[in-house]
Structure formats: C-alpha cells, structure tokens
Chain A
Amino acid sequence: MKLTDLLLMANSSLFRNKARTFLTVVAIFIGATTLSLTNGIGSGLKAYINRQLGNLGNPHSLTITANAKTASSFNSSGLQPYNPNQTRIVSAGGGPNGSHSIVGLTKSDINKISKIPNVVSVQPNYILSPDYIALSSNLAKKYQFSLGQIFGTSSLDMAVGENASNSSATPEITIPTSYVSSLGFNNAIQAINKTVIIGMTNALGQSHSFQATIVGVQQKTLVGSAQAYGNLTLINELHSFESQGLPVAQEGVYASLTAVYKSNLSATGLSNLQATLTKDGYTGKTIQDRVSTVFTIINAVTYVLDFFAIITLVAASFGIINTLFMSVSERTREIGLMKALGMSKAKIFTLFSLEAVLIGFWGSMLGILFANIIGRVVNSITTNGFLKDFPGLSLLSFPGINSTIIVVVIIAVAFLAGALPARRAAQKDPIEALRYE
C-alpha cells in the first residue's frame, strides 16, 4: 500500500468521527499554543538582546588584552617579575584596593595578531576625549559628548540612516537619538547628512576642530552607552592629533585591541582562535562571553516555561491514546478484512500511527498559528504600553526554526502516543476480527 493511500485513509478515518477528532486536536492545540508562547517569550527576549549586542560593537569581534597577570589581583600568586623588553606599564587606575597596572599592547602585537588565521582586522582601542560636538551651522551651541570606535562592519541598531563605514575615506559619525534635539534637529531624519564639528585638545594644549558627516541616528538601547560612533577615518584623524606631545613611552601603546574575525567562522573555529590567542599570551573575549550570563538566565527561564508546556502536551497525548483505542476497537472488522486481503502488520501499524501523527500535525499547526496571532496582538499592545521605552523589543517572537522544532516534537509525541493502539491494531488476528459481530 502506498504512503499517500495510507495517509488519505488515515485522514478519512479521522473525519469519520469529527467531534472526537476535533476534541483530541484541541487538546494538542492547547499544548502547542502554550509551547509556542513560552518559546516565543524566550526568543523575543533573546532576539532583542542579540540586536542590542550590536550596540556593544561588532558581534564578530574579540577584545584582546595582554594575558600577563597583574600584581594587585586578588588571586595572583604574588608579584610578577619585571621584564623590561616585554612589559610596558600603560595605565594606573585607582580603586579601593589601590592602583593597579596593566600590560600594554603595541604595533608589533597588532602585526602578530593580524597574522593569525581567520583574523580580518586588528585595531587599537583608542581612548579619545573630545572636548565638544556642535552643529557646523550653529557653532555657538557646543555640547560635551563621548565618542566610540567601530570595528570591522558595525551593526548598531539604527533608527534612521546607516552605520558609519570604516571603508569610507570621509569622516563619518553616528549619533544616539538623545543627541537629536540638543543639536537642534526636529527629528532624526533631519540630522542625516548634516555636518558636525568636533573639538579636541592635545597634550601640548593645542586645540583643533574636525568635521564629520552624520550618517545615522542610533535607536535607544537597553545596553551600551548613549554615545556617538566615528568611522576609522575620523578616529585616526582625532587620535593622531590627540597623541601629539605624549611621553614617548606612552606613544603607540594601547590597553586593549579589537580583532574582527571572519563572520562565517564556526563555533569551534572561534574557540580555536581564542586558544591560539591564549597560547600567544593574549586574552580574547567576545561580546557573547561578556553577556553570556544574561543568556543563561533567559534560557533557564525558557526551559522552565517549556517544561510546563510539555506537561500539557503529555496530558494531551493521553487524549490521542484514548481516541486511537476507540478507533481501533470500532474498526476491528475493517482491520480484519484488510489483513485477510493481504495487508501486512507493518502497514496496519503505519495506518493507525498516521492517524496519531495527523492529529499531532493539525494540533501543532493550528497551535502555532494561534500563538502567532496572540503574539501579534500582545506585541502591539506592549510596544505601545509598558515596553514603550524599549523600541525594537517584541515580547514574543516566533522564528521559523523554533516553530518547525515544535511541530516535529509534537508529531513525535503524537506518534509515541499512537504506537500502543497502533500496535494493538497490527496484532489483531484476522479471524477473530472477522468473527467479531
């Protein structure tokens, strides 16, 4: 017997008992909806945080520091020996435990890291302290601000415009939404392609102003700071000016570097890369490393919610077992006839299993559809309601892969539930079944 015939037969047998089938499908439907929604909350939050990670920098980048232990760390084993060739004390930060020093990185480190396979580019993390930002057409109003760098291709969450491009030869800048009205724009769209002036003072006490074009306005975010980001052209101009007059020992020495790796690098490729860095005496951390705890918590919460949804599914699967047992006993004669006419046990088993699978299929499809509708309604209410301050956050999201997994899981559960009645059908003795009157 062909699979399509088995499927049609299973389907028509389900339709023969519409009310019973409907009720069984409803039970699965409730389970599927619940599972979809609990999963949707997890995915919604994770998707939002992933987008926000763009605001912390290029997602395919590693922040690299020298691996040497610092003397004042709590867990360090005493003082580290001094090595005049390698170690350069670059900064001293104050704190409750006193100041501590870190090992700086230089051009030679940049060259060395650039040569590691899969590394696309390496840039120093400059610490820039510009004096002010002002609109070129309104220089009277100057504002304090902070300026960040972008590494490789940037993926900040933009409200309008684009990310600043490191490959562009003209100085480009993006500003956060909060700068828009201060700088005198009515809305974010007005700001695009306007020129701003950035004021800077170097160690020699000289002042200079630089021009940059606004290419994008960044969405309000939950993580990351509200700062402007400049492209490489702008940052290099500013840095070369600011570093004039620095003590020789501090010139060309950086606290940390950012390495951009290939965006198609696999997880194992990434950990190999990190291992190579560790071997060479560096520590390379991804943004994900830095926020992994947040994901762990969201995952844990999602799993707990999913667990409850699975319980509803287990309850629903008993409905399937019950329905199929009824179907098998009602169709005893039909089973007997089919066996007498040469249908194999395996095919009888498949026939009844398919009934269960179809119940699972319809229940899960309708459940996911319904969850998507609920998701739309809830999202539109919450984004205008208590989540108003988090633009871009959808409470519920239903990625295709998750929905597919849910359908597959439910079909598998339905199949397992159907296995027992289907087995009973397959085991029926054709003579007994035909004698049954």
Chain B
Amino acid sequence: MTSIIKTNSLTKIYGKKSSAFTALDNINLDIKQGESIAVVGKSGSGKSTLMHLLALLDSPSSGSVIINNVDSHKLSIKKMDLLRNQNFGFVFQQFFLSPHESVLDNVVLPLKIAGISRSERKKRGLEVLEAVDLADKSKDKAVNLSGGQKQRACIARALINNPTIIFADEPTGNLDSITGQMIENLLFQLNKDKNITLLIVTHDDDLANRCQRQIYIKDGSLIKEQ
C-alpha cells in the first residue's frame, strides 16, 4: 500500500524560550492509503495539534510532513490550499455549518471555493446528500437539522470533493450514543467502500477500537501504537 502521509520527527513548540511549551515531540508516522487510524489521547495531549499539522492547517516547529511523497515545506501556500480543497475532507465535532443557509449550500462550500459552476455544484451536492441519506433535507436550513443530521451534512461536505483522506475531529463528541453509532457506521462504510483513508481524533475508546490502528498520544509524545 502506498503511504499518503508520513511524518519525520514532527515537533510543535508554542511560545518562545522560557514560556515555550512542547505540544508535540518527535512524532514519526506513516499513514497508508485506505487505512483507518484513531489518534487517542486526553484533552491537551496534543492529538488535535497532530491532526492540524497532518492536515496542513498549521506548520511544524521542526520535522516535516510528507504528503504523497512531497515535503510540505516545499509546497507553496497556494498548493497547500489546493491540497486541502481537493484531497482532504474535514469533519468537526462542532459541525461548523452556516445555520441560516440551506443544507445544500453548506455541503457545496468546498466546490464553491474551488470555483465549480452552480449547476455542477448542485448535481454533486445532491449526490453526496443522497449518499449520507439527507437528500430530502437539501433545501432545509442547517439550523433546523438534528445533531445526527448535522454531522451527516458535515460528512457530505467532506465527501463532495472525493477526498483521499478524511480528518475527523471528535466526530461523535456532540452526539448521543445511538446517533454516534450511526455516524461511525457511515464513516467506516466510506472507508471500506471508497477506500478513503480515515484519521479520527477521539478520546472514545470504543470508536478508537473500530479503527485498524490506534495511536496513543500523551503530553505530546507517541506512547503506544497498535
């Protein structure tokens, strides 16, 4: 299997000198295409920082992130924007949907940013809403959705650009256990059917155990990998 993201002594330090705080220390990872990986740790452990670095939302203090065999240091900001827009999908705990816009408008945001035409956006938007079983809610305002529906809309938004990897930050954190279960099923089904790599940040052991691989982070260091 080809590796899509590799890290090389990835380190992130916040602050300077006396007040310096090491959020991540010397992390080496190799993520293969089609894998499902859980990054597990308590809050403040550095697991979110790791995800941000992997998703090119932040830059490391030292070490490097290698995406598709290219060192991210060598990528221009434009290339990174393009990579996030076309190859990455994001699912957040707080959903981040624009409450007063329609579900469809929310879902097609990545295509809008990419400059895709209106008709194409609508076509693909309805396709992904169909895939997450939300087609009948496409015209509803996001504010009127239930928590589970919101997270499904979020997943639809992450899927719309046919990503190679989905970054999910506590995807079930704001959901009750039954809806949480449904969201998990949806994510793993996508992983299996479409061979989309999953990187899930969570402190939920049940969710972590459904992933093929678990990475345990504590105080910025990788303590266990299985």
A342 near B96: Cβ-Cβ < 8 Å: no
**A340 at the B interface (CB under 8 A):** yes
Task: Given A342-B86, A344-B78, decide whether A431 and B112 contact each other with a Cβ distance below 8 A.
Answer: no
- Segment among A250-258, A299-307, A330-338, A363-371 that sits at the interface with chain B: A330-338
B57 and A334 within 8 A (CB): no
Interface string of B95-123 (1 = CB under 8 A from A): 01010110000000110111100000000
B90: chain A residues at CB < 8 Å are 340-341
| Contact among A16, A340, A342, A430 with B114 in the assembled complex (CB-CB below 8 Å) | A342
Residues of B within 8 A of A1 (CB): 112-115
Q: CB of B58 within 8 A of chain A?
A: yes
Q: Which residues of B contact A431 (CB under 8 A)?
A: 52, 57-58
| Residues of B contacting A: mostly | helix
Q: Is the interface of A mostly helix, strand, loop or mixed?
A: helix
CA A5 – CA B114 in complex, angstroms?
11
**In contact, A344 and B81 (Cβ under 8 angstroms):** yes
A-B contact count (CB 8 A): 52
User: In the complex, which residues of chain B have a beta carbon less than 8 angstroms from the beta carbon of A341?
Assistant: 84-85, 90, 109-110, 113
Query: A434 contacts the other chain (Cβ, under 8 Å)?
Result: yes
Find out whether the CB atom of B100 lies under 8 angstroms from the CB atom of A16: yes
Q: Any chain B CB within 8 A of the CB of A289?
A: no
A343: CB under 8 A from chain B?
A: yes
Q: Cα distance A347–B109 when bound, in Å?
A: 14
- If A337-B96, A434-B96 touch, whether A342 touches B81 (CB-CB below 8 Å) is yes
> A342 contacts B115, CB within 8 Å?
no
B94 in contact (CB, < 8 A): yes
Q: Is the Cβ of B92 less than 8 Å from the Cβ of A343?
A: no
**For the complex, is B143 an interface residue (Cβ under 8 Å from A)?**
no
Q: Are A334 and B98 in contact (CB under 8 A)?
A: yes
Q: What residues on B are CB-neighbors of A430 within 8 Å?
A: 57
Q: Is A2 an interface residue (CB 8 A)?
A: yes
B196 to chain A, nearest CB (A): 17
A337 vs B77: C-alpha distance in the bound complex, in angstroms? Answer: 16
Q: Is B112 a contact of A5 with CB atoms below 8 Å?
A: yes
Interchain CA distance A430-B169 in the complex, whole Å: 15
Q: Among B57, B84, B113, which residue has the most Cβ atoms of chain A within 10 A? A: B113
- In Å, the complex CA distance between A12 and B101 comes to 10
Which residue from chain A places its CB closest to the CB of B85 in the assembled complex? A342
**B81 — which chain A residues lie within 8 A by C-beta?**
342-344
In the bound complex, what is the Cα–Cα distance between A2 and B112 (angstroms)? 8
Q: Is the CB of B98 within 8 A of A342?
A: no
B82 at the binding interface (Cβ < 8 Å) = yes
Interchain nearest-CB distance for B199 vs A (Å): 15
CA distance A430 to B77 in the complex (A): 13
* Cβ contacts A1-15/B at 8 Å (1 or 0 each): 110010001001000
Cα-based distance from A16 to B78 in the complex (angstroms): 31
Residues on B with beta carbons closer than 8 Å to the beta carbon of A334: 96, 98
- Give the chain B neighbours of A337 by CB distance below 8 A: 96, 109
5 further A-B pairs in the complex, CB-CB below 8 A; given A334-B96, A340-B84, A431-B52: A1-B113, A338-B109, A340-B57, A341-B84, A430-B57
Task: Please name 23 pairs of A and B residues whose Cβ atoms are closer than 8 Å in the assembled complex, sorted by A.
Answer: A1-B112, A1-B114, A2-B115, A16-B100, A333-B96, A334-B96, A334-B98, A336-B96, A337-B96, A338-B113, A340-B55, A340-B90, A341-B85, A341-B109, A341-B110, A342-B81, A342-B84, A342-B85, A342-B86, A342-B110, A343-B81, A343-B85, A344-B77
Closest 10 A/B residue pairs (Cβ)? A342-B85, A342-B84, A342-B81, A343-B113, A337-B96, A341-B110, A2-B115, A1-B113, A344-B81, A430-B57
